């Protein structure tokens, strides 16, 4: 992995973005903000799932009062997502937004931006310049270049007004275009990046596209906050984003679980055991050494003992049974029914 790109640091509520701050996970609520309680409930669940910043769509002036009530009670810093109507940016800033997202494709006038910049500076909140390939006002044969140009032109207006608390995103539904745009932009400024592949589709394609797009960028040291875009549950967006960060060892939220794909040699219910184990540890809090554990649950003696020995805690399956390993040392033989309880108590016994 390349060294992380050096960027300025900005602050969205209590979360730092860029610089040496941990790469944060964010999502967007799916509820209509006018349903204040549903939105707050969704935010609470998002927080529990590990989300650190939440964005909400504010589409008209009727939604501003609801936004104010959400921002007041939200357990996460709230970013107002604004399109088309500059006045909404001003009103949501007044109403307690921790940041605003503006789209250069639909809020364009320097005059409009001047007022937003003034209030954002006074309230000390950042602005995300959120370019989307789908709303570019000018398109050539190179969408990545168009996205970069759109962001650069926009940022110039901010810089002319001596405003630098900027976060940039350059999203396309095409993975290569997205990666290429961020790579180019990375060499042209030091603003932190919000990264993601937009409109990535339902679960399977969103997971694959986001993992490749976000994963490639992060591997190159590019990216300061992550949003997985999914036609589906916002909590799943957070789960996938956290998995991407964990897979790259950029952040570790819970033990890493390794399990084999199973084959005709397997004589335990490895799929059921692994799924149940993951469900059991999902609600647990992991700090320090426990969050860095590697746990292997393997189907048989071919690769099982090797993987199980390499892990901090491992089980190599046999016939309705398995051998427990701790730090490479064989501990004892277990019945299949004991696996999950034993793994949990092994985790609990690890000292922080
Ligand atoms: Fe098959 Fe054993 Fe390999 Fe699992 S560890 S895939 S059961 S050979």
| Atom 3 of ligand 1, nearest CA residue | 303
Kindly state the greatest CA–CA separation across the chain: 73
pLDDT value, residue 140? 84
Over residues 159-181, the pLDDT tens digits come to 999 999 999 999 999 999 999 99
**What is the homologous superfamily of the domain 9-247 according to CATH?**
Dihydropteroate synthase-like (3.20.20.20)
| Atom 8 of ligand 1, nearest CA residue | 302
> pLDDT-based confidence at 261, cuts 50/70/90?
very high
Tell me which of 299, 308, 311, 323 to substitute to probe ligand 1's pocket, judged by most ligand atoms within 8 Å of the beta carbon. Answer: 299
Over residues 86-133, the pLDDT tens digits come to 999 999 999 999 999 999 999 999 999 999 999 999 999 999 999 999
| Residue range(s) in the chain whose domain bears CATH number 3.30.413.10 | 256-348
Establish whether residue 262 lines the binding site of ligand 1, counting it when its CB lies within 6 angstroms of any ligand atom.
yes
**What is the homologous superfamily of the domain 256-348 according to CATH?**
Sulfite Reductase Hemoprotein, domain 1 (3.30.413.10)
Separation of 339 CA from ligand 1 center, angstroms?
A: 17
Separation of 297 CA from ligand 1 center, angstroms?
A: 10
Over residues 125-156, the pLDDT tens digits come to 999 999 999 988 778 889 999 999 999 999 99
Separation of 338 CA from ligand 1 center, angstroms?
A: 20
pLDDT value, residue 137? 76
**Which residues, other chains included, contact 352 with Cβ-Cβ below 8 Å and sequence gap of 6+?**
287, 288, 289, 290
Q: How far apart, in whole angstroms, are the C-alpha atoms of residue 70 and residue 37?
A: 8
Separation of 265 CA from ligand 1 center, angstroms?
A: 6
How confident is the prediction for the chain on average, in pLDDT?
95
Separation of 267 CA from ligand 1 center, angstroms?
A: 10
* Contact predicate 3/223, CB 8 Å: no
pLDDT value, residue 305? 80
* Contact predicate 107/87, CB 8 Å: no
Q: How far apart, in whole angstroms, are the C-alpha atoms of residue 131 and residue 352?
A: 43
Separation of 304 CA from ligand 1 center, angstroms?
A: 7
Separation of 241 CA from ligand 1 center, angstroms?
A: 28
Cα 322 to its chain centre, rounded Å, is 36
**Which residues, other chains included, contact 91 with Cβ-Cβ below 8 Å and sequence gap of 6+?**
61, 64
Q: How far apart, in whole angstroms, are the C-alpha atoms of residue 97 and residue 13?
A: 9
Q: How far apart, in whole angstroms, are the C-alpha atoms of residue 34 and residue 23?
A: 30
pLDDT value, residue 304? 77
pLDDT value, residue 212? 98
How many other β-carbons are positioned within 10 Å of the β-carbon of residue 118? 14
Lowest mean pLDDT among 74-78, 280-284, 294-298, 327-331: 280-284
Ligand 1 atom nearest the C-alpha of 307 is: 5
Establish whether residue 300 lines the binding site of ligand 1, counting it when its CB lies within 6 angstroms of any ligand atom.
yes
Nearest to 334 by CA among 272, 241, 342, 8: 342
Mean pLDDT of the region 192-205: 95
> pLDDT-based confidence at 230, cuts 50/70/90?
very high
Helices (H), the chain: 36-49, 64-73, 86-94, 110-123, 143-160, 175-186, 203-219, 234-247, 270-282, 288-291, 304-310, 339-349
Tell me which of 258, 259, 261, 263 to substitute to probe ligand 1's pocket, judged by most ligand atoms within 8 Å of the beta carbon. Answer: 263
> pLDDT-based confidence at 303, cuts 50/70/90?
confident
Ligand 1 atom nearest the C-alpha of 298 is: 5
φ, ψ of residue 233 to 5 degrees: the values are -65, 135
How many other β-carbons are positioned within 10 Å of the β-carbon of residue 153? 12
pLDDT value, residue 112? 95
* Contact predicate 246/278, CB 8 Å: no
Report the share of the chain in percent with pLDDT over 90: 89
Establish whether residue 298 lines the binding site of ligand 1, counting it when its CB lies within 6 angstroms of any ligand atom.
yes
Q: How far apart, in whole angstroms, are the C-alpha atoms of residue 289 and residue 185?
A: 37
Nearest to 90 by CA among 69, 70, 110, 117: 117
Nearest to 305 by CA among 282, 337, 331, 284: 331
HEC assignment per residue over 261-326: CCCCCCCCCHHHHHHHHHHHHHCCCCCHHHHCCEEEEECCCCCHHHHHHHCCEEEEECCCEEEEEE
| Residue range(s) in the chain whose domain bears CATH number 3.20.20.20 | 9-247
């Amino acid at each position: 992995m390349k060294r992380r790109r050096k960027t300025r640091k900005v602050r969205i509520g209590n979360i730092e973005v860029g610089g040496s701050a941990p790469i944060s996970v964010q999502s967007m609520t799916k509820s209509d903000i006018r349903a204040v309680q549903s939105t707050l409930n969704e935010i609470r669940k998002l927080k529990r799932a590990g989300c650190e910043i939440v964005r909400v769509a504010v589409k008209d002036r009727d939604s501003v009062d609801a936004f104010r009530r959400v921002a007041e009670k939200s357990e996460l810093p709230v970013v107002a997502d604004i399109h088309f109507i500059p006045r909404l940016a001003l009103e949501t800033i007044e109403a307690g937004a921790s940041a605003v997202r503006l789209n250069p494709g639909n809020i364009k006038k320097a005059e409009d931006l001047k007022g937003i910049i003034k209030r954002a500076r006074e309230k000390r909140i950042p602005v995300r310049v959120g370019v989307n390939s789908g709303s570019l006002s000018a398109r050539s044969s190179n969408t990545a270049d168009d996205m970069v140009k759109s962001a650069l032109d926009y940022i110039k207006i901010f810089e002319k007004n001596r405003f630098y608390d900027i976060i940039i995103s350059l999203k396309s539904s095409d993975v290569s275009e997205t990666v290429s745009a961020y790579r180019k932009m990375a060499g042209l400024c030091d603003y932190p990046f919000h990264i993601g592949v937009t409109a990535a589709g339902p679960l399977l394609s969103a997971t694959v596209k986001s993992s490749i797009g976000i994963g490639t960028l992060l591997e190159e040291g590019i990216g300061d906050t992550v949003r997985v875009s999914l036609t589906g549950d916002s909590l799943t967006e957070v789960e996938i984003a956290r998995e991407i960060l964990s897979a790259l060892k950029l952040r570790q939220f819970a033990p890493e679980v390794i399990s084999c794909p199973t084959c005709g040699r397997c004589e335990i219910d490895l799929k059921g055991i692994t799924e149940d184990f993951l469900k059991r540890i999902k609600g647990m809090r992991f700090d320090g050494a426990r969050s860095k554990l590697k746990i292997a649950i393997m189907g048989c003696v071919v690769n099982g003992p090797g993987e199980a020995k390499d892990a901090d805690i491992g089980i190599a399956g046999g016939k309705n049974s398995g051998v427990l390993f701790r730090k490479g040392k064989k501990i004892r033989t277990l019945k299949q029914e004991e696996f999950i309880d034993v793994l949990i108590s092994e985790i609990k016994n690890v000292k922080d």
